[in-house]
Structure 1
Amino acid sequence: MAQEILILGLNPAWQRLFFLDKFTPGEVHRISKVEEYASGKGINCGRVLQLLGGSALLMHFLGDQNGSHIFDELSACGVQQAPVWIKEPTRICTTIVSAGESTELIEPSPVLTESENDDFLQNLNDYWDSTQRVALCGTFPKGFDVNKINSLDFTGKKIFVDAVEDIDAWLAKGVELLKINMQEYCKLCERMGIPLVMSSPQFWKMSATAVLERLPIKNLVVTDEESPVRAFRLLEGKFQGVQIQPPTVQVKNSVGAGDSFFAGWLYADTQGMSFEDSLVLATAVAAARCETDRPWNLKLERVSELQASLAEAVEKLE
């Protein structure tokens, strides 16, 4: 049986979430509530996708006690995993949430050995041929041999990318979706030598067209916090751009909003949804996620409400 989506979330974290009424750097704080759970871009994406009704296999590097905690928690909630066990411990991410804003403290990622890279490739080969959709989420751990995945055959695959570092070879092979934030988009344009003339009213059309003409990306999406989400593609060689303003919601924790957006677009693809409808659903999923405490949680009825309200909010970019 073919696996619907293979998620490569190679740099997971054990999350510690501190809730404060007010956070002031340099002061002593008494924390009102602490939560701990499995997190990281791949985990967040996989769990939101599962809530939406999607089916995925999550491949990630796990190490020591933190890695065991992650494996056990995801197994208990029914997430399918293909872990690669490593010697160094999985990193801890500490997030301070105060008044709807989040401050993240992220430990360095583990450093992989040559044998651990070999184990990863062997695991990946076990699933690669039977998978149509592959989603790459986030950064690679230190010491990761990116050439091992760059050498894979992408024929017949839909590749979805939520990353910007060390992905040039993947982008050059052709991807279904590249989802990045504004800061990452600027990095990509600078790396490609594309001028960033943001004062121009044609900035988005000029820069996105240049990216799409140079790289075989079918759909390019750029998120920018509370600013409009923008999506671009070349349809029969002609530029098509749309944007949608995220709805105003009561934010409890914004961490993982981008991961949820990515999961929403992945699910939309499995349902055969259009370009515009995929943008609407993904935006609704991301907004609903922000209304809950944990970065992989949401209420499906709220997604439906937001999706309906956003259906007529898509604007064309000329």
Structure 2
Amino acid sequence: MDTGFTVEQLRAAARDAVRAPSMHNTQPWRFRLHDGGIELSVDPRRRLPATDPSGWGARLGCGAALFNLRLSLAVAGTPARVRIRPYPHDPDVVARLVPDLPRRPTPAELSLHAAVPRRFSNRAPFWPDPVPAEARWLLGEAARTEQCWLELVIGVSAVNAFAEIAHSAHRVLGRDPAYRSELAAWARTGPAPDGVPAAAGGPVAEPQDLLPTRGFGTRERAPGRDFEPEPLVAVLGSAGNTAADQVAAGQALQRVLLTATDAGLAASLLSQPIEVPGAREALRLSLGRFGTPQMVLRIGYGQPGWPTPRRDVNEVLDLPVGQA
């Protein structure tokens, strides 16, 4: 009789889980075995008190890691049943996974799993090639599969209106010394297992840029290498804004990103309009949507970029004594 997941299964699934995106690449997760189940928790030591005081970003990142966990286990033929925030007395535990009935992975699961090591944020300018209608539909379907919604911002006037909201939020954040200090602390100019290296940070911002960028990059762009004039902007949202909704949005975000990667698309994340409450509400009203915007994505085609580093999987595992 199956008594639960093994250390080997946990370690294999965690290797995929740590490839998930997280704010400033803080990698705010830990994994452990407990009573035969895999438990995913927020690592309180990796919270961003200035950038993410509510813990929204950490829960979103852990939700993305949870999707990779589910996907990895399913592809291994050992799918899991998931309970979100299983312990009211311990809100840092994001999810508990226990074995479900064994089965073969689906073709969709295999395709998404193959995209895990190829997915990373591409902060460089994209090519002007439009994203075809079929790919746009697939991205929306990916969000719906995880009980979230994806609204595409279509048309010059709509994109310009979004850009105003995004720049306003960016300016608000930039006036906070603690925010600027935290951003600088996670920018990497040398080898490091976390944070955002300058090579992956995109080019230095210029006045003509339509959308704001974080100050991670140090490279001056070549002449004529401006960002695309009409980017495909997508807003990911959830029905509500509870902690469980944020975990669900993280899972939807990762499914959307892997779907984009599988389709040959590149993506980068813009969270500034989400981090500022007034900007988030302005964004929701501009979309005419119920629910809560949880992340903004810029999607398109581009040349290969630079993946951000990850810590060794053993650094994020809490294993039973004698099983390390």
**TM superposition score normalised by structure 2:** 0.27
Structure number having the greater helix percentage: 2
Bigger relative contact order, structure 1 or 2, given CA contacts below 8 A and separation 6+? 2
Select the structure that is richer in strand. Answer: 1
What is the TM-score with the length of structure 1 in the denominator? 0.27
